Amino acid sequence: METLISDINGKIIQNWPEIRLDQGQYPTLHVQARYLLPVMQVLKDDPDFYMDYLVLITGVDYKSSLGCTYLLNSSVGNHLLVVKVTDIDRNDPVVDSVTHLWPTANFHEREIYDLLGIRFEGHPDLRRIFLDDNWVGHPLRKDYNDEVNVIERKL
């Protein structure tokens, strides 16, 4: 764990000083959307990180902006790291795709595109994955309201 933190400080925070590291359940990197791709490239390829397993991507609606949370794991060192992007513009949500680094991101990004409407630049096949192609809106957004297919339950 200590070596992971020092590697992050030395190889990521040093190069991109705007990136912040904080300690949640797992070490969490707060990355600006514009730095996502180079940071991910380092995390994937650098032998000290070697994060070759992308566990999940969670798309989140933060109301003022949209975000993606990536959970990375290394099959060699078994260390876990969270990369959080929280500054995706709500009105023009675009972020770089990581599909070429981890093929598993293909489906996960399509799911987020479907349910939150974030467009992933460089994704080979960005289509809705669950909902119908003609579906209007993105259900996981907090301001989504659908009178016909009511999925919100009032308590």
The dihedrals phi and psi of 106, each to the nearest 5 degrees, come to: -50, -55
Residue 110 to residue 152: CA distance in whole angstroms: 23
- What stretch of H or E contains 66? strand 66-73
Query: Could you give the string, one character per residue 126-145, with x where binding to other proteins holds by CB under 8 A and - elsewhere?
Result: --xxxxx------xx-----
Determine how many CB atoms are found less than 10 A away from the CB of residue 75: 9
- The three-state secondary structure class of 101 is coil
Q: Which stretch binds other proteins (CB under 8 A): 2-10, 19-27, 35-43, 88-96?
A: 19-27
User: Contacts with other proteins in 34-93 (CB under 8 A)?
Assistant: 52-56, 58, 60-61, 69, 71, 75, 78, 80, 82
Nearer to other proteins, 71 or 85 (CB): 71
**Cα–Cα distance, 143 to 1 (Å, whole number):** 39
Which stretches of the chain bind other proteins, using CB under 8 A?
24-26, 28, 52-56, 58, 60-61, 69, 71, 75, 78, 80, 82, 102-104, 106-108, 111, 115, 128-132, 139-140, 151-155
